[in-house]
């Protein structure tokens, strides 16, 4: 939980855009972990489905933003 709070602070006060992207990706990973934990404890399959979709969207979004940053620098 403390890691999520620190990552959110970094997302707001990050010195660069890349720092903000990485911290938001970290927060999403923590949310996915909590969803998987909820799925295991409750026995509900829907949480796993949503967690997989959220992680895939996060991965694709991070790649797109990284490409945007690289194009912007050159």
Q: Which domain does 68 fall in, by range?
A: 2-73
pLDDT in tens, 4-62: 899 999 999 888 888 899 999 999 999 999 999 999 999 999 999 999 999 999 999 99
pTM for this prediction: 0.85
> What is the token pair recorded at 58?
């996060």
Number of domains in the chain: 1
Query: 72 or 45: whose pLDDT is higher?
Result: 45
Query: 70 or 45: whose pLDDT is higher?
Result: 45
Whether 73 has a pLDDT exceeding 80, the answer reads no
> What is the token pair recorded at 34?
């909590």
Give residue 64's pLDDT band: very low, low, confident or very high (50, 70, 90).
very high
> What is the token pair recorded at 67?
């490409």
């Amino acid at each position: 939980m403390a890691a999520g709070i620190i990552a959110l602070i970094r997302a707001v006060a990050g010195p660069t855009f890349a720092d903000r992207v990485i911290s938001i990706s970290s927060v999403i990973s923590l949310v996915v972990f909590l969803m998987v934990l909820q799925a295991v404890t409750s026995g509900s399959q829907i949480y796993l489905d949503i967690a997989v979709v959220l992680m895939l969207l996060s991965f694709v979004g991070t790649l797109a933003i990284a490409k945007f940053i690289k194009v912007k620098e050159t």
